[in-house]
A and B are shown apart, each in its own frame.
Chain A
C-alpha cells in the first residue's frame, strides 16, 4: 500500500540534468485563440494503437465534434471534426511523425460557423456502468496528452483499484509551457478531471505533481484545493524539484514513492497510474460537457518566432498556418521541432498537422540551439552514465549499437532506455547517442517481428508438407482399398461364375474405339461442352500473352521515346512490337475461332 502525505519525503532518481529552461519565452501570455486555418488535415490515426474505421465520406458536411472514425473491429480511437465544415478529400498527407511519412488524412474545409454537434454530457457518473464510462472516454477520443498518446480508456481500464493516481504537471522539458499555462488558467477543471479519473479507477489517493519552477501553477492548485474541503482528504499537491527528466512517468513515480516500475511491467502492476494534467482536463471536458478531444494547448516558441506563446489549436491545423500567424522568420537550415529540445523531432514539411500529442512547436534560432557538430570518438568519460535516469551505461550501449551486437544490447537493458536525451546532451564528443539507441531498438523490434513471421512461415510450411504427405498417403490408401475391393469382387464373381467385368469392359472399350474411328469428324462435337471451358481458359491465356506483349511494346516505345536520336529505330521497334502484339492477338483469335469451329461443326 502506497501512501503519500504532504510531508512524506521525496526521493531521487539517478542522474538527470539541468538544461536551460527557456520557459519564459512563451509562458508570459495567456493561452490565445488563433484565426482558423483555411484547411484542417485530420490524420485518422493520431495516437499509439490501431486507427478507427472511417465513417464519413468525401463531400460530407460535418459538425464540430462529429466523429470521423469509429472504434471498429480493432477498437481504435476515434478522431473528430475540429470544427464544422466539409470533408473535401480523404487521402495521404504528411504525418506528424519523425519519419516524414504520409498517411490517410481527412481534409476538412471549415465553414466558419463552428456549429457543434449535439453534445452528450454525463451528469451523474454513478448512473453509468464502468464499461459505459470507459466507452464514453473512448468515443470522445481521449488519449494521453503528455507522451505517446496512449488511449486513456485503455490505460484506465488496466488500472482498477489502484493505490495512487498521479496527475503529472511536471512538464520538465525545456521550452514547453502548454501544461504550465493550462494549470494556471484551468486548475479547477484539472482538479475536476482528476476527481473523475479517481472515481473511474477507484484510486485510493491522488497526487498532483508540479515542478518547483512553476510557482503560479502551484498557487493556482493550492487555491482550488483549499476551496474544496472534501477534496483535500484524498488529493494532495506535491512540488518536486526541477530536474530533467522528472516528468518521465517512471522517474516521477520514483521521485514521489521511491518505487521503481519493474522492467517488464506497467505502473498499474505496482498500483500506480500516471495521467497528464492535459488528459485530466480533457476527461473533465468529455464527461461534464460531452466535448470530444478536438483541440489542445500548444506551445509555440523559439527565437525564430516574433510572437511566441501558447494557443488552443484545433487538431488538424497545419503547422505553417500556426507559424505564419506567430511571426515565423525562418533562417537557412531552419529546424522546426515538434516537442521540446530534448525529445522532440524535426519535421520535413510544414504541412504537417497538429495532432493529439503535439504539445509544442519549437522554431529555434541557430544561436539558441546550436546545430549538432561533427561526432567525435567516445573517450569513455562517463558523463553520460552520470546523468542517465535509468542507470544504464550509455557509452557501452553506444559501442554495442555501433557493433550491431543486439544480444549485448538486450543484456545491457537497452529496452529500459526512455530516450530522454540526457546522455547525448552532456556528451563532450557530441555523439548522437539517442539516435543510435533508436535505430538499434527499431532493428531489434524488426528482428523480433521477422523472427515471429519466419516462425509462422515455418509452421505453415511444415503443416503444408504434412498435409501433402497425408493426402498422398490417403490417395495411396484409397487406391489400395479400391484394388482390394476389386480383387474381392472378382473373386466373388469368379466363385459365382459370372462374366468377368474387366473383360467385358475391355470389350466395350474396343467396340467404342472402332465406332469412334468410323465417325472421326463428329468426335469433336461430342466433346464440345468440355472443351468449351478449356477454350475459354486458352483464350484468357492468349489474351494475357497478348497483353504482355503489348505492355512490352509500350514499354519499348516509352523507352525509345526518350531517346530522340533513335527516333526512327524506335518507330521500327514499336512497329515490330505492335506487329508482334497483333500477331499474338491474331493467333489467339485464330485459336478461339478454331475452337468455335469445332463447337459449331
Chain B
C-alpha cells in the first residue's frame, strides 16, 4: 500500500512541477531570433560562397542543420569562436579547404581595360558594381565586400583585389608595428618612394 502511495505522491509532484514549468514557459517566454537569424548575424555577409553555399544565409541555414562552423574564411577565427559560443559547439580551426583568413580587400577595376561585358555585374552578390553593357564598369568601394566573385568571370582580367589601406582614424594602436626609423637617416628629406597624390 505504502509503495502505491509513494508512486502516487511522486506522480502528483511531477504533474504539479510540470504544470508550473509549462506555465512558466508560456508566461515568461523570451522572444528570441530564430537560430538561423542569429547565425546569419554573426557571419560577415561577404556573400563570397567560399563555404560552398550561395551566400551567407544559406550557410547559416546549413549550420543550423548541423554543418561545420569552420568554413568561413572572411570571418576567420573570430567568427568561428562566436558561432561556437552561440551553438555550444567546439571552436575548430578554420577549414583550410575553404580558404585562408586574409586581410580585408576590395575589388578595383582597371577601367581603361574594361570592355563593358557586364559579367562582373552579374557575379556581384551585393550589386556593388556599376555599369552597363559596352560601358565602363566601376566598383563602389564602400559597398564591396571583397568576396572575390567578380575576378573569375572577367574575360579581360581587369579586376584586381586590392588590400584596403588602413586610415589613421581606423588604426588599431598596434604600436609594435610602427617601423622604427634611424634618427640619422630621417634627417634627409627623402620621399622618393611616396606616391604622387592626385591634384585637382
Which A residues contact B (CB, under 8 angstroms)?
39, 53-55, 57-58, 89-93, 95, 97-104, 320, 330, 334, 348-351, 435, 438-439, 442-443, 445-446, 449-450, 453-458, 460-465, 537, 540-541, 543-544, 547-548
Contacts and interface: CB of A to CB of B under 8 A. Distances in A.
Contacts, number: 126
A18 B158 CA distance: 61
Contacts of B40: 458
B127 A464 contact: yes
B33 interface: no
Nearest to A104: B197
Interface stretch (B8-16, B23-31, B89-97, B177-185): B177-185
B117 interface: yes
25 contacts: A53-B200, A57-B200, A89-B191, A89-B196, A91-B194, A97-B168, A98-B171, A320-B186, A334-B183, A348-B181, A349-B181, A349-B186, A350-B187, A439-B173, A439-B174, A454-B44, A457-B126, A461-B57, A461-B126, A462-B57, A464-B126, A537-B115, A541-B156, A543-B156, A548-B157
Interface in B130-160: 143, 145, 155-158
Given A54-B200, A98-B173, A442-B173, A454 B45 contact: yes
Interface residues of B, number: 46
B127 A540 contact: no
B166 interface: yes
Contacts of B143: 456-457, 460
Given A99-B178, A541-B155, A463 B127 contact: yes
A48 B172 CA distance: 17
Contacts of B155: 537, 540-541, 544
Interface string B57-75: 1000000000000000000
B191 A93 contact: yes
Interface of B: 40, 43-47, 55-57, 113, 115, 117, 125-128, 143, 145, 155-158, 166-168, 170-175, 178-181, 183, 186-187, 189, 191, 194-197, 199-200
Nearest to A45: B168
Contacts of B145: 453-454, 457
A435 B127 contact: no
A349 B170 CA distance: 20
Contacts of B191: 89, 91-93
A451 to B, nearest CB: 9
Given A89-B191, A460-B127, 6 more contacts: A97-B171, A101-B167, A442-B170, A449-B170, A453-B45, A462-B57
A446 B170 contact: yes
B168 to A, nearest CB: 5
Nearest to B127: A464
A55 B200 CA distance: 7
- A-B complex: 6 closest residue pairs judged by Cβ atoms: A454-B45, A544-B156, A460-B126, A457-B45, A99-B171, A442-B172
A458 B186 contact: no
A197 B170 CA distance: 33
Contact of B172 (A55, A446, A454, A462): A446
Contact of B187 (A54, A95, A320, A457): A320
B81 to A, nearest CB: 9
A435 B175 contact: yes
Nearest to B166: A101
A101 B168 contact: yes
Residue among B43, B168, B170 with max Cβ neighbours from chain A (10 Å): B168
Contacts of B126: 457, 460-461, 464
A350 B166 contact: no
Contacts of A462: 57
A101 B173 contact: no
Contacts of B43: 454
B171 A461 contact: no
Contacts of B113: 544
A457 B183 contact: no
